[in-house]
A and B are shown apart, each in its own frame.
Chain A
Amino acid sequence: MQHRKSRLPAYLLDIQREIEEYARGYGLDFWDVSFEILDYKRMQEVAAYGGFPVRYPHWRFGMDFDRLSKSHVYGLSQIYEMVINNNPAYAYLLEGNSLVDQKMVIAHVLGHVDFFKNNYFFSRTNRHMIDEMANHATRVRRHIERLGLEKVETFLDSCLCLENLFDPMSPFIVRHAAEPPPQEETPPVELPRLRAKGYMERFINPPEYLEKQRKKLDGERDKPRKIPREPERDVLQFLLEHAPLEPWERDLLSTVREEAYYFAPQRQTKVLNEGWAAYWHSKLLTQKVLKPSEVIDYADHNAGVLASAPGRFNPYKVGLTLLRHIEERWDKGRFGKEWNECDDYDARRTWDKRLGLGRQKIFEVRRLCDDVTFLDEYFTADFCAENQFFSFSRDERSGNYEIDSREFQKIKDKVLFQLTNFGEPFISVQDANHANRGELLLAHRHEGVDLHQDHARATLEALARIWRRPVNLHTMIHDKPRLLRYDGSAHSDEAG
């Protein structure tokens, strides 16, 4: 059977146009959005493909699909909305949802598309990714036809292990700014001499000493340059440039890298992006779109989206409440030196300068922030207390998760730690010729939490398959520096 590609029926299209009109009125700025209605099976399929209709073949998508369809069967989850960062944007509606739900999703999606288009962190993403993904799929299929599934899949598995080893900031950094032209002759370097008065020169800088200095300098000049010169966080790029890869392997690795970079901003801005979309669906629906008879249903479903279960950090809710908090602060002028220095409780409580800058401010936030800067800048002690945040951890004795603090600074540190680098470890390439044996050396910048060791070892194996020489990882385990090594057949682990 063919996949049913149902464009929106007329009545939903009318609703979409209507909501778009209201949204423009509020100043949202988005690309055309093409909605498609899918039944739940197709919806799970698309969700497993990360929102795209076509991806390269890999069992991981099958696994995600398996999980999604199981949790659907057991009634654990429902996919609400999905939208692709693409121009024009593509989004999906679930067949059989109530009209209120569809309205909510349409409004929510417009929020996301506005965000994709205007947020700085998305500015370097490929806006025709939907085509690019299809190209990737075709290329990978071609490799499979030529080389067989096993071979391609094994290599893809290895690449995917390293998927998170890239530098999300690198699209914004201009590197290797036009290498200076190699000079024919290096200018003669003056030998370092010890300072001496003329008549003492012969004694303080005797010829033997000068000769030694000359040798040292020559030695330094002849010493091979270290690769990479600076630690390199974009491990994937480094491997593309320096690992001994077959052309097809290079192609697969660069595919994985390209997709990782494409998805990165969505992970970098999860809280803000969802908060922004939730802000706008709630604003548009309650102010403009809903009929009185629909309000109760809307409130019910909206509450479901914004629910916060114990132990869960709900990005929709946190993002939304923080945006509203900012809006209120800038409406009432609760910012700046005067506000910060005021410690009169009553004055702060009734502080209202009627500036009305709130809307403008949140538009600024949506343009400039990612989650880290968003929360770093605006997650204040007031906000923290008002919204009953707490931090929790596992109690060693009982094994239960317990609230361990309601202290603002602790909570904020933890939030930021979890958001920084997507809550993943910082790993960089240190040396491509470790121990002068062509081994690869990576280093983990340890910040208090150890790596998952089984997975770290398995990842080293994948890395060794790509590097084709032994690989090493500097890390800390139980506060002691360790060097994990995999030489292609066995692991070792020494103090390092």
Chain B
Amino acid sequence: MALRIDPEHRRFRDIVRGKIRQNLRQYISSGQLIGRKGKNVVSIPVPQIDVPRFHFGNQGQGGVAQGPGKVGDVIGPGQPDEDGAGKAGSEPGEHVLEVEFSLEELADILGQELALPRIEPKGKERLITQRDRYVGIRRTGPESLRHFKRTFRQALRRQIMMGHYDPKRPLVVPVREDRRYRSWKTVPMRQSNALMVFIMDVSGSMGDEQKEIVRIESFWIDTWLRAQYDGLESRYIVHDATARAVDRDTFFRTRESGGTMISSAYRLCAKMIAEDFPASEWNIYPFQFSDGDNWSSDDTSACMEILRREILPSVNLFCYGQVESPYGTGQFIKDLDDAFKGEERMVTSEIKSKDAIADSIRTFLGKGK
């Protein structure tokens, strides 16, 4: 039902969206949204927006109420400190507004705020295939599509209406007008398929903080790409000295230790693409996160080789994000940059802290590939 207040409600939601847009960077780097993901909605806590007035700060004011109890009895938990002074809105005060956004809306805001271009899928992937789906019933059609049950039901109905039906001798004979046929609708199916491969270094040098950054960044990349493609597959690879494919959950939770041989992950990734995701049909986006500390320079040159020969030719974009770790040398990003100077499909970015996540996302996705 349309309500008179709907425009006002929409306006309010727009204002809230504006607030979220303003503070998007803060939301991106805080990572608190990820835990709040429902099926298709994210509920975002925004500080209550209200009309400011001259009014009393609430601290310690209390009040008057009724009931049993003696002096000193606790009647309720306090609210977080809010004496009004200090930084504006840095801490959520007592009033927090939960606003729900669908993932598409969120991706939309992300796209606008970080000025991300819409992704142009590979030319042939825009092919639209058509599929017929049987969705209805009609009175005419080929005999091969006749719907027997509906036809007989119609016949029964007709006979009852006309008084020809005799329950003692339940004979139902359809005539021509009773016949019912299945009908179909042609549904266009878009075949822009995309594959995300997330590769993470889980060697001993990657601490919890580094993984948190990876986790937040992959959430946003995931949200954005999902808004761009209808069919989106994701694969997860973790590696130390050896690589293995894991599910999403394990990807974010594992903690292994040991050396680092990036080539093992590249081999696995190349194999995955070659076997399951032919480059002619898929838009492929590998995202690799590491602290940039590879085992040996021999292995690094092996990596470059695999990248050049097998991975890069079949992907839309290869993104390498290097998180800063106290242990690593951070050499790998330099090696990549040297080896692939001028290669459009190779994007590297250093993620020094959580605050750098937004910029890193822009570096990765800002090319619209």
Contact = CB atoms under 8 A, between A and B. Distances in A.
A425 B74 contact: no
Contacts of A405: 71
Nearest to A405: B71
A59 interface: yes
Contact of B56 (A1, A41, A317, A450): A450
B2 A1 contact: yes
B35 interface: no
B1 interface: yes
Most buried by A among B10, B13, B52, B74: B52
Contacts of A418: 63-64
Given A160-B51, A390-B69, A454 B88 contact: yes
Interface stretch (A6-14, A27-35, A306-314): A306-314
A53 B55 CA distance: 29
A401 B75 contact: yes
A171 B10 CA distance: 37
Contacts of A49: 5
A251 interface: no
A243 interface: no
A3 B15 CA distance: 27
B8 A455 contact: no
Contact of B78 (A400, A406, A411, A414): A400
B78 A164 contact: no
Contacts of B368: none
Interface in B244-282: none
A203 B130 CA distance: 118
B161 interface: no
Given A62-B13, A310-B67, A389-B66, A425 B55 contact: yes
Interface of B, secondary structure class, is loop
B70 interface: yes
Contact of A311 (B50, B72, B75): B75
Interface string A32-55: 000000010110010011000110
Interface in B7-55: 7-13, 15, 49-55
A459 B54 contact: yes
B3 interface: yes
Given A45-B3, A58-B8, A394-B78, A449 B54 contact: no
Interface in A59-102: 59-63, 65-66, 70
A452 B62 contact: no
A399 B9 CA distance: 36
Contacts, number: 203
B80 to A, nearest CB: 8
Given A62-B12, A394-B78, A402-B74, A388 B67 contact: yes
A396 B216 CA distance: 37
Interface string A368-393: 00000000000000000001111111
B76 interface: yes
B53 to A, nearest CB: 5
B231 interface: no
Contacts of A311: 63, 65, 75-76
Interface in A151-165: 157, 160-165
A60 B8 CA distance: 8
B85 interface: yes
A453 interface: yes
A459 B69 contact: no
A388 B56 contact: no
B353 interface: no
A456 interface: yes
Nearest to B98: A70
Contact of A411 (B5, B56, B64, B76): B64
A461 to B, nearest CB: 8
A392 B70 CA distance: 11
A444 B54 contact: yes
A interface, size bucket: 35 or more
A473 B74 CA distance: 37
A65 B57 contact: no
A394 B51 CA distance: 26
Given A390-B69, A423-B56, A310 B1 contact: no
Given A310-B75, A311-B75, A396-B60, A65 B55 contact: no
Contacts of A54: 4
Interface string A164-179: 1100000000000000
A402 B56 contact: no
Contacts of B54: 164-165, 424-425, 427, 444, 451, 455-456, 459, 473
Residue from the set A63, A394, A414 with the largest chain B CB neighbour count within 10 Å: A63
A403 interface: yes
Contact of B62 (A61, A66, A162, A393): A393
Nearest to B85: A453
B102 interface: no
B74 A59 contact: no
B3 to A, nearest CB: 5
Nearest to B89: A454
B66 A390 contact: yes
B61 interface: yes
A474 B141 CA distance: 85
B204 interface: no
B84 interface: yes
Given A39-B1, A62-B8, 6 more contacts: A310-B69, A399-B77, A400-B78, A402-B72, A418-B64, A450-B56
30 contacts: A45-B3, A45-B4, A45-B5, A54-B4, A60-B51, A62-B13, A164-B53, A165-B54, A308-B67, A310-B65, A310-B67, A310-B76, A311-B65, A311-B76, A313-B64, A389-B65, A393-B62, A394-B60, A396-B60, A400-B77, A401-B78, A406-B70, A411-B64, A418-B64, A424-B54, A449-B61, A450-B57, A452-B84, A453-B85, A459-B52
Interface of A: 1, 3, 39, 41-42, 45, 48-49, 53-54, 57-63, 65-66, 70, 157, 160-165, 308-314, 317-318, 387-396, 398-406, 411, 414-415, 418, 423-425, 427, 444, 449-456, 458-459, 462, 473, 477
Interface of B: 1-5, 7-13, 15, 49-78, 81, 83-85, 88-89, 98
Minimum-distance CB pairs A-B, first 10: A393-B62, A62-B12, A62-B8, A399-B78, A458-B52, A62-B9, A455-B52, A452-B84, A310-B75, A452-B57
